[in-house]
Amino acid sequence: MNLTVATPAGNSASTLATQFSYVAQASMPQVTSIAPATGSTSGGDAVTMTGSGFTGAAAVKFGALDASTFNVDTDTQITTPAGTLHQGNAW
């Protein structure tokens, strides 16, 4: 948007140097569903998460464990293979 200064003598010129932009704040990601909701303890099952705010995701976790790989398909969908369930994990 143009930024100008008004005085009794007139208004400042509007140039590229006087442009101001608003930047939307990023919102926290929201997971609304996971499919499938269950899988093998040996892991590897494809898991699809749907929700919003996934663009730029840096990590996906199963409990406290990082997913080995994941793909941000869209801002509303991530796919990843489920991790293995090691003895002692409580999810």
Whether 7 is covered by a domain: the verdict is: no
Residue 10 domain flag: no
Q: Which domain holds residue 62?
A: 26-81
Is 57:70 a contact under the CB 8 Å cutoff?
yes
Q: What is the average pLDDT across 52-73?
A: 91
3-state secondary structure of 55: coil
Q: What is the pLDDT of residue 87?
A: 47
pLDDT of amino acid 86? 65
Query: What average pLDDT does range 26-31 have in this prediction?
Result: 87
Q: What is the mean pLDDT of the chain?
A: 84
Task: Answer whether residue 1 is part of any domain.
Answer: no
Domain-embedded: residue 51: yes
Tokens of 25: 């704040």
Tell me, what amino acid is at 1?
A: M
Tell me how many domains the chain contains: 1
63 in any annotated domain: yes
Q: Is residue 18 part of a domain?
A: no
Averaged pLDDT, 54-81:
92
pTM above 0.95, yes or no: no
Q: Is 82 helix (H, G, I), strand (E, B) or coil?
A: coil
Q: Are 71 and 48 in contact (CB under 8 A)?
A: no
pLDDT at 74 over 70: yes
